[in-house]
């Protein structure tokens, strides 16, 4: 009887831990650009993009995907916000030529902000553009 209980407990624990691993990487989010926006020196059209980032600490490498295609890769800094972001959002800076440059990405449901490095973007201006 003890062996049966121990086996059930062991199987249940392994399923709980494996489902956490299968749940996927928590360093993912979404971005919906409302306007044509410059990212990593490339103009991106309005639309839905997946955001993934890798790295430890505050310095990370961000990848933007449209479908399965990588459209931009750039360095950023992770900044933990005081409260959770209500929705996916971003900030942009208007350049002298009138173009919009991505400055930060806010991941919905998390306290995470991905701030693009200064050589990739200008200072953020205004409020985040929500989804």
From the list 88, 95, 75, the residue with the least C-alpha distance to 48 is 88
| Per-position DSSP letters for 12-74, written without gaps between them | HHHHHHHHHHHT--SSEEEEEESS-EEETTEEE-SEEEEEEEE-STTEEEEEEEETTEEEEEE
Tell if the pTM clears 0.95, that is, is over it. no
Give the model confidence (pLDDT) of 37-60 as tens digits: 999 889 999 999 999 999 988 999
Domain-by-domain residue ranges, the chain? 25-130
Give the model confidence (pLDDT) of 67-123 as tens digits: 999 999 999 999 999 999 999 999 999 999 999 999 999 999 999 999 997 654 443
Residue 8: strand, helix, or coil: helix
């Amino acid at each position: 009887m003890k062996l049966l209980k121990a086996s059930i407990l062991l199987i249940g624990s392994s399923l709980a831990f494996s489902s956490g691993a299968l749940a996927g990487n928590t360093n993912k989010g979404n971005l919906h650009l409302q306007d044509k926006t410059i990212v990593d020196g490339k103009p991106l059209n309005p639309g839905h993009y997946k955001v993934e980032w890798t790295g430890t600490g505050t310095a990370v490498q961000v990848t933007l995907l449209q479908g399965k295609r990588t459209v931009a890769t750039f360095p950023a800094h992770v900044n933990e916000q005081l409260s959770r972001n209500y929705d996916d959002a971003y900030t942009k800076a208007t350049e002298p030529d009138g173009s919009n440059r991505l400055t930060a990405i806010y991941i919905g449901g998390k306290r995470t902000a991905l701030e693009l490095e200064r050589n990739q973007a200008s200072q953020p201006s205004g409020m985040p553009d929500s989804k």
